[in-house]
Structure 1
Amino acid sequence: MCMSTLAERVKAAREYAGLKQAPLAKMVGVEQPVISQLERGKNLQSAHLPKIAHATGVSAIWLSDNIGPMVVDSKEESNVSMAEQPLHSYRYPVISWVSAGSWAEAVEPYPAGISDRYEFSEYDSKGPAFWLTVKGDSMTAPAGQSITEGTLILVDTEAEVAPGKLVVAKLPDSNEATFKKLVSDGGRLFLKPLNPSYPIESVDENCRIVGVVVQALQKFY
């Protein structure tokens, strides 16, 4: 079976499994409108496609990229196996860097109108959490750990803050948040970019750590 669009493949997978939209949504851990939007081509985010493939019994690579058959014969030998899927998924808002900077002074979590876009994760946050889309190349390293522009990062506002972790912070001279690695040197804390061409900033009493980056998700469009 050859489907030309992601929307058609999602619908074909659901019908192959003999499921209505609501039961499939429950199995995947999303609301029914998410499945409906996918089938109408209104939502092309791919974060939950592996779980849809797992729930319907179709090939994950066929569903996401239209590669290979819709259903792989389990008797055929393969060096690719389905990864175990998380039992739960959690929805977090995607917000702007200005909103993230304001988060440090926010009176209440998730103020009204904070976002009209959400992404799912299997990570169960310790406190209010949100996604940010990385801007610029200050965290793009020539070697080792590197977070490129366009990557979605999940920020947990109540995860433990410690040197060596990637954090989102609010500097006193900026309205926007900044994304850096928290490091310690000589008993002092610094915000270090992974790109060595950018300067290291010191952490003082006026710097607010908004949260710890607990997950990075690269989007391919």
Structure 2
Amino acid sequence: MDKWIELVKAKMSELKVTQEILAERLGMSQGGVGHWLTKRRQPGIDDMNRVLQALGMEFLEVALVIREPESSPDDEMPLSQKYNPYFRYPVSGWREPAEVRDGEQAVYGKARFELSDYHAQGAAFWLKVAGDAMTAPSGISIAEDMLILVDPAVSAEPGKLVIAQWPDSAEATFRKLIEEGGQRYLVPLNPTYPKVLYTEECRIIGVVVQATAKF
């Protein structure tokens, strides 16, 4: 709930949308919106998603993850611990992953989503890692079949893991962006693969903000 409020307030500030304007878009009273944003009342999942859509964030959706209680079933557990708001993002493919950003509807039609507690700055999407170019012998290592969450709105600075695409390639590539001697390179975490000079011809699709494995 706190993350949803933080996201909504940040977007309202960015768009200069007041509670009164937001309430008008939602067809409800300003006081009702105020109660949600001050946690005096808790909106349902449908209402949380209505607010996101009213602020132009159709690519985000709030979902619920139910945790199994660690204590016995007879013990009472606060709802805040049992039910936790997550965002869900579409899973894309490596061919033209920018379609997620430029045309979300096509990707959402595939009806495959994965959850994350990360609230994106842009139209984030998941990719499934292929190959072992980002599998390192030590330190940060992202193995094949892991899911990575990509946020197109995060600034691609040296040191970040990025998804990039060359104009003559149909598929994107997953590498670490580094800077050496005034030049930027796309570097694999696996030292058996070569690093590549980054030029203006190469387009950074997004920055990897999370990686997860499924068992």
Both proteins in one fold, TM over 0.5? yes
Contact 1:103 / 1:210 at 8 angstroms: preserved in 2?
no
Question: What do you get for the CA RMSD once the two structures are aligned?
Answer: 3.0
- 2:142 maps to 147
Q: What is the TM-score of this pair, normalised by structure 1? A: 0.61
Q: Residue 183 of structure 1 aligns to a residue in which SS? A: strand
Q: Residue 89 of structure 1 aligns to a residue in which SS? A: strand
C-alpha deviation, 1:73, in angstroms:
8.6
Mark the CA change 1:209 to 1:200 in structure 2 (over 3 Å): closer, same or farther: same
- 2:201 maps to 206
Contact 2:99 / 2:107 at 8 angstroms: preserved in 1?
no
Contact 2:90 / 2:107 at 8 angstroms: preserved in 1?
no
C-alpha deviation, 1:85, in angstroms:
8.2
Contact 2:121 / 2:153 at 8 angstroms: preserved in 1?
yes
Are 1:94 and 2:91 counterparts?
Answer: yes
Give the paired residue count: 152
Mark the CA change 1:85 to 1:95 in structure 2 (over 3 Å): closer, same or farther: farther
In the alignment, structure 1 segments of 5+ residues that lack a partner are 1-24, 31-47, 60-69, 75-83
Q: Residues 13-92 of structure 1: matches in 2 within 5 Å?
A: 26=45, 51-53=65-67, 58-59=69-70, 71=72, 88-92=85-89
Q: State percent identity of aligned pairs.
A: 46
Contact 2:137 / 2:190 at 8 angstroms: preserved in 1?
yes
Q: Residue 112 of structure 1 aligns to a residue in which SS? A: helix
C-alpha deviation, 1:150, in angstroms:
0.7
- 1:138 maps to 133
Rounded Cα–Cα distance in structure 2 between residues aligned with 1:172 and 1:90: 32
Mark the CA change 1:197 to 1:72 in structure 2 (over 3 Å): closer, same or farther: farther
Mark the CA change 1:140 to 1:86 in structure 2 (over 3 Å): closer, same or farther: farther
Mark the CA change 1:148 to 1:113 in structure 2 (over 3 Å): closer, same or farther: closer
Rounded Cα–Cα distance in structure 1 between residues aligned with 2:210 and 2:173: 16
- 2:166 maps to 171
Mark the CA change 1:172 to 1:208 in structure 2 (over 3 Å): closer, same or farther: same
C-alpha deviation, 1:91, in angstroms:
1.3
- 1:8 maps to none
2:89 maps to a residue whose letter is Y
1:92 maps to a residue whose letter is Y
In the alignment, structure 2 segments of 5+ residues that lack a partner are 1-43, 50-62, 76-80
Contact 2:127 / 2:148 at 8 angstroms: preserved in 1?
yes
C-alpha offsets along residues 186-208 of structure 1, whole Å, 9 cap, x if unaligned?
A: 11111000000001111111100
2:72 maps to a residue whose letter is V
Contact 2:66 / 2:84 at 8 angstroms: preserved in 1?
no
Q: What is the TM-score of this pair, normalised by structure 2? A: 0.62
C-alpha offsets along residues 42-71 of structure 1, whole Å, 9 cap, x if unaligned?
A: xxxxxx99x4126xxx23xxxxxxxxxx73
